[in-house]
A and B are shown apart, each in its own frame.
Chain A
Amino acid sequence: MRMLTPLIAAVSALALTAPGYAKTIAVAAGADAQRRLQEALIVAEPGDVIELGAGRFDLTDGLSLDVNGVTLRGAGMEASVLDFTGQKGAGEGLLVTSDQVTLRDFAVENPKGDGIKSKGADDIVYYRVRVTWTGGALTTNGAYGIYPVESTGVLIDGCKVSGASDAGIYVGQSKGITVRYSVAENNVAGIEIENSRNALVTDNYVTRNTGGILVFDLPNLPVMNGGDVVLARNLVIDNDTPNFAPKGNIVASVRRGTGIMVMANDDVSVVGNRIDGNPTTAVMVISYPNTFEDPRYNPTPRRVFIGNNVIGRNGYAPQIDGAAQLLAAFGGALPPVLWDGLGVAPTALGIADASAWSLNLPAQAASFETARPAPLRLLPPPPTTLGIMPGAPVSLDARIGK
């Protein structure tokens, strides 16, 4: 018996990872989808695969998964559609609260709140998942499409989100994050990394959003001090949709046509991106613009580095007070990098090769009227502090055969 114990332990450990020991629960589209799918999500055991058939699943309530190590897999992001158009309750379409979950090859349409939220769900993989609000850019759409929060280990790969009235792909209060090979189109923010550390955002296509890629740090949250973020090789193209976020949310203040925006945070690198066709600015680096009460919070950006990027025509129709005068002063288009002038230069911001201008705000939370815009001399890049490439644990790649 004593000999058996380690063997049993080994088998159980295998069951968590090896598909050979797991069972597959098939759930077809059609009548009573809500009950059948939710029941499968409840009775699944670690290692199981829940397989969604092709077709539409008409759902009346939010779904949730709270079992570790489960894979929810459809027949493709155009084939298996979880349709929440008739949803009556809950704050999101699908909620995941367990670890080591893989979501792949299905779509979520028209959830009343957020699309897929994973909270406290470590080592999660979103692969070839689509979240769409089919009515286009509407204020009445839900806030976030793909929404991991308070998690360690997040891989988002090959996903597609459009219509989110806040951020298409939003990772909040998390660490160890990779967002890659994904498309965010027609959201207020395409991709947003908020109050998170150790994030790699690479090889994504963000277009027709109000703002392309945002890296924010906000006060009064359980997890703060975001940083160690790399934005590399993204296509940040034609983000020109008027802001349709409900007021009160921080993204409602994002100007139409912002390519990449960094607010507060430390150690952010913007390298190798193609940034073109964004009417307000290619890149914006600013402090938190509101007053706040939180002694733990640092509102200024530190060590933000704008490396070599391919920067096309941006800043030609800026949504900024005094735009006409500014355009005249700068010869028809604003310089690609906009800084609010707060934080200690040169440790706040370093620019390898791009012209820039500063609002020269006198203080944090100062109003725009107090700005004294002026061209910004190129600052020497700060010493790099990034020891290792950030991102999700490499082990997550194995789950999608990479």
Chain B
Amino acid sequence: MKLLAAALLLTAAAVVSARSPHIAFVNDSAIQSATNPATLADFHFFSDPARQVPVKGVTPYRLNTPLWSDGAEKLRFVYVPDGQKAVADGEGLLKLPVGSALIKTFKLGARLIETRVLLHREAGWVALPYQWNAAQTEARLVLAGARLDLTTPTGQAISYAIPNKNQCKECHALSGKVVPIGPKARNLAAAWLTEWQQSGRLNAVPAVSVHVPLWEQRERVPVAPAARGYLDANCAHCHNPAGSASNSGLDLRWEQHDPVKIGIGKRPVAAGRGSGGLEFDIKPGDPAHSILYYRMASLEGGVSMPELGRASLDPDGMAVVARWIRGMKR
């Protein structure tokens, strides 16, 4: 009888804790369980979800040059379970142990739109999208994605797409397996890496020869690294030899140096009307006759790139890429 009462008490406690926004630690079993939690709150990543205040162990970070998503502000967090460490792997992706999570909240103006989580389970990484309600009190799993009519920070009305679970993978796939994209050592600040290592979550500070430039400093750094950093963050998750666009032969990764592979003098393969009647991905000196620029400048389905996650133009990204192409010797 006593036992039963204790069990009941425990159950009650569990229910309360699942709903309480003030729980102080991450729910590791929600990350690792094979069933996908229905709400973001189930993970306990935040002590104050509406204000995006993380609990202890969930560390905010930024990327030097990020993926642009209709001007949305992105709040990024990384979580590594207690007693474990991420492992630095040269300039590339930090290796996060099983049980880790990457959390990214999209915010337009003051409104939280969606939070995407990448969970490292025993069987591999899983990507899930959670949509915030209008009252901003809860974010619910939307496996099949969603569309919302929104206004960008520059005042454009767009149909904003929250990706479905498969679309998450389209960008996050390497050789058919889901992997993180963002936290590569070269696209993280040296100071942040040092701090995270000192906090005990990273085994060592990786040596990085050249960091990707900070996006806000793009006018003050040489144009090539600024443009290549942008293409790496915005295109290379698909346009790499093991990515979703491998069949195009276009490889826009930061570390690719073969001119034809990054598009210079390269003819399109399966572009269809995405070619815009142009002959080359990049025509040196001539952005207006470069397919890469043409597709960045389009909003039309089947033409615009990236295929997912953009419903308006990115004038800053276009300017940097145009300046880079214009500066190439004809």
Interface of A with B (CB < 8 Å)? Answer: 34-36, 38-39, 41-43, 60-62, 64-66, 87-91, 95, 97, 111-114, 119-120, 139-144, 147, 149-150, 165-166, 170, 172-173, 218, 220-223, 246-250, 290, 293-294
Contact = CB atoms under 8 A, between A and B. Distances in A.
A39 B144 contact: yes
A372 to B, nearest CB: 27
A330 to B, nearest CB: 33
B311 interface: yes
A248 to B, nearest CB: 3
Give the interface size class of chain B.
35 or more
- Classify the interface of chain A: helix, strand, loop or mixed: loop
A66 B166 contact: yes
B143 A89 contact: no
Contacts of A88: 147, 159, 161, 301, 311
Contacts of B269: 172, 218, 221, 250
Contacts of A91: 301-302, 307
A119 B159 contact: no
Contacts of A248: 267-268, 271, 275-280, 291
Among B146, B249, B268, B300, max chain A CB count under 10 A is at: B249
Nearest to A249: B275
Given A113-B301, A248-B291, A34 B144 contact: yes
A66 B164 CA distance: 12
Contacts of B300: 112
A204 to B, nearest CB: 21
Contact of B301 (A39, A65, A90, A95): A90
Given A64-B166, A165-B272, A165-B273, A89 B260 contact: no
A240 B147 CA distance: 42
Contact of B272 (A36, A43, A60, A142): A142
Nearest to B271: A249
Contacts of B169: 66, 97
Given A42-B165, A91-B307, A248-B279, 8 more contacts: A43-B143, A113-B302, A114-B270, A144-B272, A220-B249, A246-B277, A248-B268, A249-B271
Contacts of A41: 166
Contact of B144 (A38, A90, A119, A166): A38
Nearest to A65: B166
Contacts of B265: 293
23 contacts: A42-B144, A60-B147, A61-B145, A88-B147, A88-B311, A89-B307, A89-B308, A90-B307, A91-B301, A91-B307, A113-B272, A113-B274, A143-B274, A147-B270, A150-B246, A220-B261, A221-B249, A246-B273, A247-B278, A248-B279, A248-B291, A293-B260, A294-B260
A139 B266 contact: no
The 8 closest A-B pairs by CB, nearest first: A143-B272, A112-B301, A113-B302, A248-B275, A247-B277, A64-B166, A38-B144, A112-B302
Contacts of B311: 88-89
A246 B12 CA distance: 64
Nearest to A41: B166
A166 B270 contact: yes
Contacts of A221: 247, 249, 269
Nearest to B305: A91
Contacts of A66: 166, 169
B241 interface: yes
Interface string B136-147: 000000011111
A142 B300 CA distance: 12
A222 B244 CA distance: 13
B167 interface: yes
B170 interface: yes
A95 B170 contact: yes
A36 B278 CA distance: 39
B327 interface: no
A149 B161 contact: no
B82 to A, nearest CB: 32
Contacts of B153: none
Contact of A38 (B145, B244, B271, B275): B145
A64 B170 contact: yes
Contact of B143 (A39, A90, A120): A39
Given A91-B302, A247-B279, A35 B270 contact: no
Contacts of A165: 272-273
B176 A97 contact: yes
A61 B268 CA distance: 24
A222 B272 CA distance: 19
A97 B301 contact: no
B296 interface: no
B161 A42 contact: no
